[in-house]
Chains A and B, each alone.
Chain A
Amino acid sequence: MPKITVTVNGTSHTSEVEGRLLLVHYLRDTLHLTGTHVGCDTSSCGACTIHLDGKAVKSCSMLAAQADGSTITTIEGLATGNELHPLQEGFKEEHGLQCGFCTPGMIMCAADLLSHNPNPSEQEIREGLEGNICRCTGYHNIVRAIQYAANKSLVVSE
């Protein structure tokens, strides 16, 4: 079995994993970081989005072994202590969620977008989220939440 070492939200973990273990299952079932969700079986919904070496990826569509040696940030790693990340604050202030199932993925994808485009237009936000599906909100408030975070211009890319 492959032995992997990954740094997740600042903590290093070394584990023996089955070759076929998906990264999302490693995060949820081995590390108990259940903020990363599984919303589909077809790589479509983006609920499983995390950052792998600073870039948004779908953790359901890669193996844990592929992440060996990488630095991972999940939704649990965004806030600083009790201080919400501007995107988390934005989703709260702008009512960017209803059931909340898609929210971790939306936020992780939006954080990637803001890291290379700190001041996106509405169109750019919508295009940037094309890999994330929300069944509840109709997206308007998600866009506003991201605009809120961009306006705060505080976004520190982790």
Chain B
Amino acid sequence: MIPSSVDYTRASSVTEAIRLLTDNPDAKILAGGHSLIPAMKLRLNAPSLLIDIARIPELRFISDEGDKVVIGAASTHHDIISNEAVQDMKAMIEAGELIGDTQVRNMGTLGGSIAHADPSADWPAVLLALGASIQVQGPNGERSIAANEFFLGFFMTALDEGEIVTAIHIPKLAEGQQTAYRKFMQPASRFAIVGCGVSVTVEGGLIKDAKVAFTGVSDAAFLDEGVAAALIEQPVTLETIEAAANAAAEGDIHINEDHFSSQAYRKHLAKVYAKRALAGACGLD
């Protein structure tokens, strides 16, 4: 299948990309193209102009900045999982290694994945669990958006018109903090039916801080406060984890349903994968 006609240009800087985006209302940013090009081939998307940002040097880097790791938006999934700076963030590695396949990981980017905000994408759950923040730049300058304020809904983010994601800031792990990611994947597409990213901080044998995030479960990735609350001040045991995980995907949230999985099955999977991810982070699996 062939996309409809489109103009193509390569931006040489972030400022130029923003100007092109502002001047061309039907234009779209192109990063790895591994969500956008397949959608254009299916004619689900037909922008008039593609603004390629993949080779802008200021967008493709990974740096250790003391209290945080900063990842340029155009860093590929492969760049990230093979970088020294994130190796102790197990959730990043475990999620990144399960994205698509080798070829997809060589092209697809972190910035593209989060800007696209597919409800089944892996990175959003990891960024939520790690308390990341997203740096964006637009015609009105730069701002930073906390991950838990970024993913607003079905393919919907907090990005304003003309804004692009420039970098992702991930706080370094604290003493006693461990992370993990587990996913139940759709066997053909490898996208998450349920993916769970967690961070657990243990001090003196008790869980002092916990973040549990899901992708695939609802119309956007989200932090499950119920599971996190049930872990606080609890000892690190499988019993504690199982009890907390049973609180997953309860309460007032919309649960996705499709021909792979009913709402009831997804809810069940959320509890199972919360348990597995938490056990993984705590070294109990």
List chain A positions with a Cβ less than 8 A from chain B. Answer: 2, 18-20, 22, 25, 41-44, 46, 49, 52, 55-58, 61-63, 65-66, 68-69, 109, 112-113, 128, 130-132
Contacts and interface: CB of A to CB of B under 8 A. Distances in A.
B8 A19 contact: yes
A41 B8 contact: no
Contacts, number: 80
7 contacts: A41-B42, A61-B107, A63-B8, A63-B37, A63-B50, A65-B8, A109-B103
A57 B2 contact: no
B3 interface: yes
A57 B77 CA distance: 13
Contacts of B10: 65, 68
Chain A CB count within 10 A is highest, among B33, B100, B107, for B107
Nearest to B101: A131
B7 A62 contact: no
Contacts of A62: 33, 37, 107
Given A63-B33, A131-B104, A41 B190 contact: no
A132 B102 CA distance: 10
B33 A66 contact: yes
A20 to B, nearest CB: 4
B4 interface: yes
Contacts of B42: 41
Contact of B102 (A19, A52, A61, A109): A109
B3 A20 contact: yes
B38 interface: yes
B33 A113 contact: no
B1 interface: yes
Given A20-B6, A131-B100, A61 B38 contact: yes
